[in-house]
Amino acid sequence: MKSLLSKISHSLFHHLTWKGYWEPLVQRFKPAWRDGLFRAQITSATYLNPNTLQILLSPEKKWPVHLAGQHVSLTLEINGRLTTRVFTIASGASTRALENELRLIIRIKEQGALTPHLPTLSPGQWVNISPPMGRFALREDKDILMIAGGSGITPFIAMLEDYTSKHAAKHSSNDCNEHHSSQASMKPNIHLLYYAKQGEHLLIDELSNISSKLPNFAFRLLTKANDGDVERYLPEFNSYEWMVCGPLSLYGPVSKNALANNISLESEHFTALLPTVFDSSEEEQTFLIQHDDKVLHVNNQQSLLTQLQQANVSVNYGCGMGICHQCQCVKKQGIVRDMRTGELSDNAEELIQLCVSQAITNLELQS
Ligand code: FES
């Protein structure tokens, strides 16, 4: 029934869904209400350093519980147009439960489509967010080496926040218990190697605070200029599982070492920019697409959903016509064409719908 109403709405009123038709009306009572998205209210937007903004926002109650390490898309209306970018949530589910607050820590890019507008957000303003997404999560049964570069500290601070809230109290009560083995309370070990430029490490006070509460957690603040490459520190953690979040220049050597030593590696990395020169003609062309761990070829004639299905890649989907949003995934890099409007995306990270998107350049996608 819902989909029938949406089809009628699409053809008669040029709205993608029936609910979308009522958006302007509902927005009179619920600012920023949009079909398919959640609302969140800005609590504060403050600079952590000249290029990095911390945004606290309070999601509406029905926003799902997230897992520390997941990301979310943030949508703002800028000059009458909706602009969406994806950011890691830099706070844990424990803070959401206590204070109903999410934190985003965002590097402002001067030429960016969305980030230069973020400093103007004011307390009380409503924005839209997606449900939490992603599978980058902390395992608690293994010794873990976290490797962060720059703003790649954000998923780790969320994981450490939740880990501390779960285990710090237990640890201090264990300290008082003479019968408890101190070794047992110290497991698993978590070690963080955090690379940034001199003076640009973020959240140092929070990391110190966590390490004072958790004796099994330690961190090192490193700069490439003073401390050298990450490879010199990796061998001492060969018995740990590794997690890395940062630029390709950090991910590259870490993944090479993990492979060489048969070490389990979880990663979130920002890849180098693909060339922004592209041919938007409709002549058939083939591109490479990285979807999670798989690499395959796609053309610019069929939708990404069709081609992923033909390649037996498991993807969620529903209506197949851009209405239900079930095929939504994160485009990390690359340019796609919206098959409904012909509109081209930019090269940045954003949410796309696979069933109505065609590749225009090589792409990196994350489900
Ligand atoms: S929007 Fe429904 S499957 Fe793509």
358 has a pLDDT exceeding 80: yes
What total number of domains does the chain contain? 3
246 alpha-carbon distance from chain centroid: 12
Average pLDDT, the chain: 84
At residue 306, the pLDDT reads: 93
Band the pLDDT of 181: cuts 50, 70, 90: very low
> Taking each helix axis from N to C terminus, what angle separates 204-213 and 154-176, rounded to the nearest 10 degrees?
30
- Residue 196's nearest CA partner among 130, 133, 147, 159 is 147
CATH number for the domain that contains residue 311: 3.10.20.30
Q: How large is the average pLDDT for residues 157-173?
A: 83
Same domain, 96 and 196: no
Q: Is 29 exposed, middle or buried (0-12, 13-18, 19+ CB in 10 A)?
A: exposed
169 has a pLDDT exceeding 70: no
Same domain, 241 and 346: no
Contacts of 111 (CB under 8 A, 6+ apart): none
At residue 264, the pLDDT reads: 92
26 has a pLDDT exceeding 70: no
Nearest-atom index, ligand 1, CA of 318? 3
Band the pLDDT of 170: cuts 50, 70, 90: low
For 158, phi and psi rounded to 5 degrees? -65, -45
The residue to mutate among 353, 365, 367, having the most atoms of ligand 1 within 8 angstroms of its beta carbon, is 353
- What tens digit of pLDDT does each residue of 295-343 get? 889 998 999 999 999 999 988 888 888 888 888 888 888 889 888 888 8
Q: How far apart are CA 156 and CA 258, in angstroms?
A: 19
At residue 346, the pLDDT reads: 77
35 has a pLDDT exceeding 80: no
Same domain, 124 and 149: no
Same domain, 58 and 122: yes
CATH number for the domain that contains residue 104: 2.40.30.10
Band the pLDDT of 276: cuts 50, 70, 90: very low
Nearest-atom index, ligand 1, CA of 327? 4
Decide if 73 is inside a domain: yes
- Residue 217's nearest CA partner among 155, 159, 267 is 159
Decide if 139 is inside a domain: no
Q: How far apart are CA 12 and CA 161, in angstroms?
A: 49
Q: How far apart are CA 344 and CA 366, in angstroms?
A: 19
- Asked if 156 and 203 touch (Cβ cutoff 8 Å), the reply is no
Query: Which segment of 3-12, 97-106, 224-233 scores lowest on mean pLDDT?
Result: 3-12
Q: Which residues line ligand 1 (CB under 6 A)?
A: 317-320, 322-327, 353, 355
- What tens digit of pLDDT does each residue of 41-61 get? 999 999 999 999 999 999 999
Decide if 97 is inside a domain: yes
What amino acid is encoded at 6 in this protein?
Answer: S
Question: How far apart are the two ends of the chain, measured CA to CA in Å?
Answer: 28
Same domain, 159 and 234: yes
Decide if 107 is inside a domain: yes
Q: How far apart are CA 207 and CA 227, in angstroms?
A: 19
37 CA distance to ligand 1 middle (Å): 15
226 has a pLDDT exceeding 80: yes
Band the pLDDT of 194: cuts 50, 70, 90: very high
Domain interval for residue 311: 286-366
At residue 184, the pLDDT reads: 43
- What tens digit of pLDDT does each residue of 263-273 get? 999 887 654 43
17 has a pLDDT exceeding 60: no
Query: Which segment of 8-22, 237-251, 348-362 scores lowest on mean pLDDT?
Result: 8-22
The residue to mutate among 307, 308, 316, 324, having the most atoms of ligand 1 within 8 angstroms of its beta carbon, is 324
